[in-house]
Amino acid sequence: MQGQCLCGAVTITVPDDHSQVGVCHCGACRRWGGGPLFAISLDSGVEIGGREHITEYRSSAWARRGFCRHCGTHLYYRGEKGPSCAVPAGLFSDAQGLVLSAQIFIDRKPDYYALANETPTLTEQEVLARYGDPS
């Protein structure tokens, strides 16, 4: 699958076999994009074109967020430890067969929206217990 930022300066390619979309309801993701982050998580295989157009923001002690310096499109969330990367599913406008697979920080989701999809969910405490406290 190939996606791009709004202005086309940055392209992102991920393997076609990644169809799972996760949702993060944490406050940082909601502030970053104005709503929950719908993302494809990858440990490898992400190819980025136009890196010279990317600015990174260290949003916490454990992660960076990349965006296009021209149009502001959100491009990825990348942990400081390891190769894992979350890429917004909305970058891939022609993607077919994507499936909402899980939601995290469900206890941080505000009351003003609800997703109809039935998925496994994790609270903030469950995320930290499963993946470790990133701080």
Residue 119 pLDDT level (bands cut at 50, 70, 90): very high
List of long-range contacts for 11-15, beta carbons under 8 Å, 24+ apart: 11/48, 11/49, 11/50, 12/46, 12/47, 12/48, 12/49, 12/75, 12/76, 12/87, 12/91, 13/46, 13/47, 13/48, 13/49, 14/40, 14/42, 14/45, 14/46, 14/47, 14/87, 14/92, 15/42, 15/45
The pLDDT of residue 134 is above 80: no
Write out pLDDT tens, residues 79-114: 888 778 999 999 998 888 999 999 999 999 999 999
Residue 133 pLDDT level (bands cut at 50, 70, 90): low
What pLDDT score was predicted for residue 135? 55
Which domains occur in the chain, in start order? 2-131 (2.170.150.70)
Residue 16 pLDDT level (bands cut at 50, 70, 90): confident
